[in-house]
Amino acid sequence: MPLELPDGAWRRVADAFDEAGRKAWPHVKLEKQRFLERLATLAPTAVDLEQRAGADLYLVTAFIGGDRAAAAALDALLQAEADRSLRRFPDSDRWAAEAVDRLRDRLLGGPDGASGRLADYQGRGPLSTYLRSAVVREALNRRRAHGGTAGEVDVEKRSDPGSPEREIAQTMYRAEFVAAFEEALCLLSRRDRALLRLALKGFDLERMASCYGVHRTTAGRWMADARARLLAATRRRLAERLQLPPSQVTSHLRLFQSQWDLSLERLLDESRKRP
């Protein structure tokens, strides 16, 4: 029995996604009803659907359905992302081919026909970001495995200033961090943004309390809540963009601690006229 689809604004967004997908991937075959049903499962409201990567979801949905052209397109995208990303590792010639083969099996499905993890992609961030994140994680794992250490990424090592892992990860994820941070800042209230701006200007709690006519303790609580909300929203947005579990997202945020205040100052200046 076909899934009942939302109408109104949701249907307009879904139709636009379908059109965008067909234009982006003209050789891929996907029934519109199948695509809309998956969209309805992933994002049943128009507000949620608008935040998804429509053309990317179209390609992945066709791949899940067994379309060979979609599988070939995804394989090409994965290889292109691997070629770009692995060049940043000076010793990649020793393990790059192995890393790509492992990624291909993991994301697209192995030779036994098992479904790949790409079926879990929900379009919360660009497909290119999802693939880049997978390539970098696998590259760090292969690099460490060939160096005689366990294959899992060593978060502490990647957090060491000057380590190759840190420099590579910062380069790969900087754009995603900035975008997630900006989106998180937009979610804060006007008061939260104002408090953060005052803190950057060097206001202590006494001066903040005086500005709002409240007790110092109240100002301190407001300030702590504003920072907590910003961090939580940034973590959530970055997790959506990279489609990573919270533990790994936290390690990614540590990479940009030194840039936190600079990014905050710039974005707060840009947000002065926001409601």
Structure confidence at residue 72 (pLDDT): 94
- Say whether both 119 and 189 belong to one domain: no
Structure confidence at residue 25 (pLDDT): 96
Domain boundary among 90, 123, 153: 153
- Say whether both 143 and 37 belong to one domain: yes
Structure confidence at residue 232 (pLDDT): 86
Handedness of CA 83, 107, 147, 136 (dihedral sign): positive
Question: Which structure tokens are listed for 177?
Answer: 């961090």
- Say whether both 200 and 233 belong to one domain: yes
Instruction: Report CA dihedral (43, 49, 52, 55) to the nearest 10 degrees.
Output: 100
Domain count, the chain: 2
Range of the domain at 252: 174-270
- Say whether both 118 and 200 belong to one domain: no
Spell out, as residue ranges, where the chain has pLDDT lower than 70.
Answer: 1-3, 90, 110-115, 146-172, 245-248, 251-252, 255, 257-275
Report yes or no on 109 lying in a domain.
yes
Structure confidence at residue 58 (pLDDT): 97
Q: How far is residue 186's CA from residue 272's CA, in Å, rounded to a whole number? A: 11
Structure confidence at residue 165 (pLDDT): 58
Domain boundary among 123, 153, 183: 153
Looking at residue 94, its amino acid is R
- Say whether both 148 and 56 belong to one domain: yes
Q: How far is residue 145's CA from residue 50's CA, in Å, rounded to a whole number? A: 41
- Say whether both 144 and 38 belong to one domain: yes
Report yes or no on 243 lying in a domain.
yes
- Say whether both 148 and 81 belong to one domain: yes
Q: Which residues contact 43 (CB under 8 A, 6 or more apart)?
A: 49, 51, 52, 123
